[in-house]
Structure 1
Amino acid sequence: MSLVEKSVKHITNCRPGDIPQFVLSSSEPLVLKGFANAWPIVEAGLDSPEQAANYLRSLYNGKPVFSAYGEPDTQGRVFYNDDMTGFNCQGVKADLNLVLDKLLAHRGDPTPPTIYVASADVNNWLPGFNQTNNAGMDEFNPLTNIWIGNHSRIAAHYDVPNNLACCVVGKRRYTVFPPEQIANLYVGPMELSPGGQDISLVDFSAPDYVKFPKFKQALQAAQVADLEPGDALFLPSMWWHHVEGLTDFNVLVTHWWRDSPAYFGRPENALKLAILSLRNLPPAQRDAWKAIFDHYIFAHQSGDLDHIPDAVKGMLSQPLDLLSAKKLRAELLNKLKV
């Protein structure tokens, strides 16, 4: 049962290679009903989980995949151990065929172990998959990953890239939150997290409102998307999302891409540098730097710097070209050595 009443808006008649621009530029999530209905993996899964597994086996190149295994008492929740010094699932490298065998063997098991293959690049492990199960987004050069498992609960987190997530076998539920809800999601440590990304510590299956009272406010801003086989979810950059695998054999295919060139670097690095150099300043100085950041970054508008001749704008030029970005990065690296 979902904790959220508001559903993500549904869009129909979107097909691979024919996604309207308003979808890809949306500032809110959108469900694309039936987007991948014609994909072979979807058709195989509708036949049976065994057929879906056989389809994956036919493309698999034999390289070990990274998978997570949790005892039945994890109940599908990929999370920390009790004292948050590690995780409740063991990470192992395994032959995908063995993983698929275990998933199929535990179908119908009322207390199955948690079995989860996360973020496997299809081009690296399943050559040919993307040719016949293609989202028609090659102009974005997306990173296309596959996720395979049984009943699972992945803690709310955000990703920097945009994402087109296609539910191809089984059913998925996404509970999504706008970026400004971070303060109400009780995010855990930055250095250690199950998937390498900061996560909410709230257990969505049994929220502790005494320990996490502001989570009620987050739920008021949340939306839910229940995905059937063939459905896709467009998830804009930075939206928090909690993901559940609702059936005992699930396959998801994600497509991640950025709106800016890779040479601009990762925004997370700027955050870490700000934690190092700004967070411990006195409040008045933090306020002063907030005004500076607003001026140059967050509230910046086209034309704000027209009073500076273009020839001398330097790093304030917009957008930065590759050479300028490399020069700025080199300057930062040099200063960080001190």
Structure 2
Amino acid sequence: MRASRRRRGPTLSPAYRAWLAENLLRGADEAAIRAALAERAVPAAVIDEALARARGSAELAGARAAIRGLQREALVGRLRRTLRATAPAIERRTAPSPGEFVARYWATGTPVILTDVVPRWPAFSRWSPADLRDRFGAAEIEMSIGRAADDDPDVRFKEHCRATTLGEYIDRVLAAGETNDVYLIANNRNLARPQLQGLLADIALPPGYFDESRSARCGALWFGPAGTVTSLHHDTSNILFFQVVGRKRFRLYPPDEPRLLAAARGVYSTLDPERDELAGAFGLDEVLLPGEALFLPVGWWHHVRALDLSISVAFNNFVWPNQFEWYKPGAPG
């Protein structure tokens, strides 16, 4: 950065003026600013003039006002996180009435695990790889394969989509052992396939929660071996996730976790809790057991690992407005 000369005399270059304004906004001491500029041979008169202009700048005053607003919002977020840390586990309970569910969990963005929904389903006593092969083995599906060689398979999920039958897929899963290579994921849209509509007959969603006329197109089937991983991300709708077979480990972080907001890219995060990249951040670490259902509030970050061969379904076709596509803090600026 160097002083530049114009007709009205020497002034700071645009790059230097931006540097000076940024430092003033950050609260840097003017003496330190003067010393830094003097070390770069900027004349004292130029420094005086630049500081005087910056102090009286309407743009700088506007920027300071905006920063004060952001600081207030950050303070509110800090208060929420501090209070939330007093409840370090997700509540497990029987399903509440729709009104109580909305008031206590939906409206407050609070995760909860429901323990009595899935055990009443025919699917809970019926679904297994053998059962699904016998009833739906010929059904044409889409699978995600070749994930293990990709360090970002969820972001690049389209590259891993392949057509197969459910029977052939089940054979792959049973032969695979523990791996993240093969998986049926939400983006495969298998629950909407006509040949798999019989699966919905084995499911009874909580009364008053869902518009069941939209269950096929708003539901997701997750099926894979132990070792499948869904990388850290958030959704743009509220979701109720039902664990039917096997266990899954969920690591959850609230929407306002600063480190995740800074590392957001689209709906995904560049951070990985399995590499201790979120050590010290407030999070909830829960193993979802067979027969349990987890309410995932919109915006909550979650990383999921299957601890066993796992079959799950998830739905977002609630009766309450549930479209939050605008919530993408990781979208490009």
Q: Residue 130 of structure 2 aligns to a residue in which SS?
A: helix
Letter matched to residue 126 of structure 1: L
Q: Trace 1:85-124 onto structure 2 (pairs within 5 A).
A: 90-106=160-176, 109=177, 112=179, 114-119=181-186, 120-124=189-193
- Partners of 1:41 and 1:227 lie apart in 2 by 17
Q: Is 1:144 aligned to residue 219 of structure 2?
A: yes
Structure 2 distance, partners of 1:227, 1:88, is 28
Deviation at 1:32, TM superposition (A): 0.8
Tell me by how many angstroms 1:184 deviates: 3.0
Please name the residue that 2:90 is paired with: 8
Please tell me whether residue 216 in structure 1 is matched to residue 294 in structure 2. Answer: no
User: 2:99 corresponds to which letter in structure 1?
Assistant: Q
> Is the radius of gyration larger for structure 1 or structure 2?
2
Deviation of the 1:90 alpha carbon? 3.1
In structure 1, the residue corresponding to 2:275 is in which secondary structure? coil
In 2, are the aligned partners of 1:68 and 1:91 still within 8 Å (CA)?
Answer: yes
**Number of residue pairs matched by the alignment:** 234
Letter in structure 2 aligned against 1:22: E
Q: Which runs of 5+ in 2 are unaligned?
A: 1-84
Give TM-score, length-normalised by structure 1: 0.59
Q: Distance in 2 between matches of 1:169 and 1:43?
A: 9
Q: Does 1:68 align with 2:144?
A: yes
Give how far 1:34 is off: 3.7
Structure 1 residues 251 and 266 mapped into 2: Cα distance closer, same or farther (>3 Å)?
same
- Separation of aligned partners in 2, 1:10 and 1:21: 18
User: 2:303 corresponds to which residue?
Assistant: 242
Q: 1:156 aligns with which of 217, 223, 232?
A: 232
Paired residue for 1:166? 242
SS of alignment partner, residue 260 of structure 1: coil
- The code of the aligned residue for 1:216 comes to A
Distance 1:62 1:182, change over 3 A: farther
Q: How does 1:1-338 map to 2 (within 5 A)?
A: 6-11=88-93, 13-14=94-95, 19-25=97-103, 26=105, 27-45=109-127, 52-60=128-136, 62-70=138-146, 79-80=151-152, 90-106=160-176, 109=177, 112=179, 114-119=181-186, 120-124=189-193, 125-136=195-206, 137-139=209-211, 141-142=214-215, 143-150=218-225, 151-181=227-257, 183-184=259-260, 187=263, 189-190=265-266, 198-207=267-276, 209=277, 215-217=278-280, 219-220=281-282, 222-247=283-308, 249-257=309-317, 259-260=320-321, 266-267=325-326, 279=333
Shift of 1:66: 2.4
Quickly say closer, same or farther: Cα 1:163–1:39, change in 2 above 3 A.
same
TM-score (norm 2): 0.60
**1:61, CA displacement in angstroms?**
7.9
Q: State the one-letter code of the partner of 2:121.
A: W
Structure 2 contact 117–291 (Cα < 8 Å) conserved: yes
Would you say the 8 A contact 2:261–2:330 is kept in 1?
A: no
Cα pair 2:210 2:317 within 8 Å, conserved = no
Instruction: Provide the C-alpha distance between the structure 1 equivalents of 2:165 and 2:270, rounded to a whole number of angstroms.
Output: 31
Q: Which has the higher contact order (CA 8 A, sep 6+)?
A: 1
Instruction: Give the distance between the partners of 2:130 and 2:121, measured in 1 at CA.
Output: 15
1:24–1:243: structure 2 CA closer, same or farther, 3 Å change rule? farther
CA RMSD across the alignment: 3.5
Unaligned runs of 5+ residues in structure 1 are 46-51, 191-197, 210-214, 280-338
- For residues 261 and 251 of structure 1, the distance between their equivalents in structure 2, rounded to whole angstroms, comes to 25
Cα distance in 1 between the residues matched to 2:322 and 2:255 = 22
Structure 2 CA distance for aligned equivalents of residues 269 and 239 of structure 1: 12
CA contact (8 A) 1:161 1:257 kept: no
Query: Per the alignment, do residues 135 and 154 of structure 1 end up closer, same or farther by CA in structure 2, a change over 3 Å counting?
Result: same
Answer whether contact 1:66 1:91 (CA < 8 A) is retained: yes
- Matched residue SS, 2:123: helix
Distance 1:113 1:181, change over 3 A: closer
Can you list the C-alpha shifts for 1:206-251, whole angstroms capped at 9, x where unaligned? 22x5xxxxx334x32x11221111100011112111111111x101
What letter matches 2:241 in structure 1?
A
More moved, 238-247 vs 133-142: 133-142
